[in-house]
Chain A
């Protein structure tokens, strides 16, 4: 292994600009003559708009224009769409309601934009926005997904009966029911997977610039997938033909899923820029972000697991109601279906599984993918069921897991997925050692002497990443293919640019992708640049989410590098006057087999461009190759997280004292970066388990609408983590990579709740398990009090 090759913890190329304050995030970009957009948003969760009067606002200082939804409709700007078709069990297609970028006629959640002020400065825009008079007729709201389908519940969208988007199912109900009838033991749980606000630290932003001379539109935005944004804004919203729209996602300050989606504000900025013929910028403030970023999770589930007398799992069934909010966001339909129910087999050999999912509209912000997207919800269901079943049957939770682990691959689950590689015993074993589970009983006694109840919780999770084989997801309703593209440009001087359709917003692609290229071509790491996030530069790309950039994005680079090697060998053959078949390439050098003749990579690159050694009839000049890589399967990262914590008997406060994570991500390019991804994921999962929760009151007002009300995990809420690795290669991609971005967020909520319930002796605790919630549960429980 070289100091910068695959497997080395190379320090990141991108860091210099960030630690010196020279990053270029969307709000840092300015255009000459730039104006600012300020949105007028509904203060009501559900209301008819009787009228909008913008006349006073238009007269305010610095105001250029005030635009409303009626004008948007007149200009035939299309609605935002959800791009994944789900069919109900009766075969009917999902019910997608109209989602205009500016509401007209009716608002369906607090924060719904009804008008936009375009002004010289933000302050002037805000002053004018206050002068927009909107006459609302307030309607009753529904916010609880479990109540959205009830008789008499407020109807949110016309013609969408009972606010029901789809009633979907997966698996064989008959088999499952038979298995339950024959089961020795059944564990039942009611689970609420709490609603979360993603809260990437950089708020969303959009800067649109219309060039009247060329009729071109340029959009800078905070996107995880700028090409997909361009495609949707062009093909569905009809803003501009695809070749007249450029989307640039520069440095992006975190995404976690929330920046995958196409949002109203970027559509409005583009439209407004063309109308006022000046650049229009909008930057969300955090309060707007809470109201308008797509939220995550929000499932209500009843789940049951059937086991035989020996603790062998026979079947699992789940009924879930998923809250998709007021409108269907870009990929919202896929999250509680194909990204959720397909993972309900966990790491276990479960013969039959049946899952029903009802997706509903409510008068809340749209809900879509958030780090893990469906897979944390599935893991929570499976890992809580397994843990509780073990306790109820008097079996050690680790042992019950072992008895049910899948050990032979490939393994076809009853819920679509075909696991291709893994060693779940290995990650459990290593985690048990690192966490010193053997010494737990002693530590528990010691903690009790200090008035603490100590608990231990496991989560042996699995996820499907490397999203995804295009034909497979197409058959499940995806509106797009989920391949990735790469272009490798070798310059005449031998340096290399890689243009990738992946998008980095914290993942460190500029470093890891360069490690791959440097090792493969035998050239210095410093001589490789990674270019991403600009539709004018990169041919196409599906972006970064679902832990796909390694398994899919880097595989595309490998394929392009394969082509570079083939072409370079042809050039070298002319240079070295040898047969192409005799050219070998290793460590940056082309050699002729059996001779001492050689040419360095840089010389070959130069010769490819000067083209003096061959004619145009013999070989095309240049050294640039592209590839579109479509994976053949999902990848299946898996592992074991163990949480050890103390509950303060007097206050209910939870203190995590030890966290062990052992993950199998397949091949790892940069261990330092991978560990960082695991840390961050765990923090978000612990946040979900202990402190985060979006709360709407019954009128649909977001009570947790700022960072003063919505508890973000801080440094003192978390411990340092013990991170270990096991490795089985992913057989479906050339590098053997599985993906690491979401594992921590997927694994950790169940580990925390399993540990808390172990400590307090009752299963009856919901997330977030705040001190107050834990204390209340503790008072009701029969747990032996510490001495």
Chain B
């Protein structure tokens, strides 16, 4: 077992984990932050996307120990303390960008990274291209694309 400490959603956390523990296991099982999901075992689907020091990463392909001292943001950390939703969360609801909800946390975290990399004025082609690391089986992506475009614009306000 090894000790690990990091900041998750603004809160300092520590854990005693097996070295092989994945970040996603640490988040889900140790911290009970179950909003980060596991949809595959080959780093393809993106259901586990979180932010490490502000950059999107797949928590299923990251060891918890690699995140020593890092600042992690998960889907649970997006809304404001008072409960006000992040504009990207709001956009997914407004544009029906989710059905079963399982890929949704990863989609939203990925969307924020697309905005970070490409700015707030996103066209459809850019969004579809940049969403390569996320799989949704329900929506056919149509409304996810619309949600991300609108969410990105709303974030600029």
Contacts and interface: CB of A to CB of B under 8 A. Distances in A.
A25 B102 contact: yes
A254 B100 contact: yes
Contact of B85 (A20, A199, A676, A683): A20
Given A18-B101, A25-B34, A718-B141, 12 more contacts: A18-B98, A19-B104, A19-B105, A201-B39, A253-B100, A672-B96, A706-B42, A712-B135, A715-B128, A715-B134, A718-B128, A744-B140
A716 B74 contact: no
A17 B74 CA distance: 14
Contacts of B102: 23, 25, 200-202, 253-254
15 contacts: A21-B105, A23-B35, A23-B101, A24-B34, A201-B39, A201-B102, A201-B136, A286-B40, A673-B96, A679-B139, A679-B142, A713-B140, A714-B141, A715-B134, A715-B144
A696 B123 CA distance: 40
A706 B127 contact: no
Contact of A721 (B98, B100, B137, B142): B142
Interface of A is mostly: loop
Interface stretch (B51-59, B63-71, B86-94): B86-94
A21 B92 contact: no
B137 A712 contact: yes
Contacts of A506: 99-101, 138
B99 A254 contact: yes
Given A19-B104, A25-B102, A254 B138 contact: yes
Nearest to B131: A715
Given A14-B101, A505-B100, A676-B96, A201 B45 contact: yes
Nearest to B142: A679
B14 interface: no
Interface range on chain A (Cβ under 8 Å from partner):
35 or more
Contact of B37 (A202, A672, A673): A202
B88 to A, nearest CB: 9
Interface string A1-35: 00000000001101111111111110110000000
B135 A714 contact: yes
Contacts, number: 178
Interface of B: 18, 20, 28, 33-42, 44-45, 47, 74-76, 78-79, 85, 89, 92-94, 96, 98-105, 108, 124, 127-129, 131-132, 134-145
Contacts of A679: 139-143
Contacts of B20: 123
A706 B45 CA distance: 11
A527 interface: no
A286 B137 CA distance: 14
A27 B75 CA distance: 17
B129 A716 contact: yes
A682 B141 CA distance: 11
Contact of A715 (B35, B36, B37, B145): B145
B44 A683 contact: no
Contact of B44 (A12, A19, A707): A707
B114 to A, nearest CB: 11
A252 interface: yes
Interface string A528-543: 0000000000000000
B41 A287 contact: yes
A734 interface: no
A251 interface: yes
B20 to A, nearest CB: 7
Which 9 A-B residue pairings sit nearest by Cβ, starting from the closest?
A21-B35, A253-B102, A18-B101, A683-B140, A506-B100, A679-B140, A21-B75, A506-B99, A707-B44
Interface in A647-672: 672
Contacts of A718: 128, 140-142
B85 A254 contact: no
A706 B60 CA distance: 15
Contacts of B76: 20-22
Interface string A675-694: 11101111110000000000
Contact of B101 (A251, A706, A708, A712): A251
A19 B100 contact: no
A720 interface: yes
Contacts of B28: 27-28
Nearest to A17: B101
Nearest to B148: A715
B145 A720 contact: yes
Given A19-B92, A20-B79, A123-B20, A684 B42 contact: no
A203 B39 CA distance: 7
A256 interface: yes
B141 A676 contact: no
A22 B35 CA distance: 6
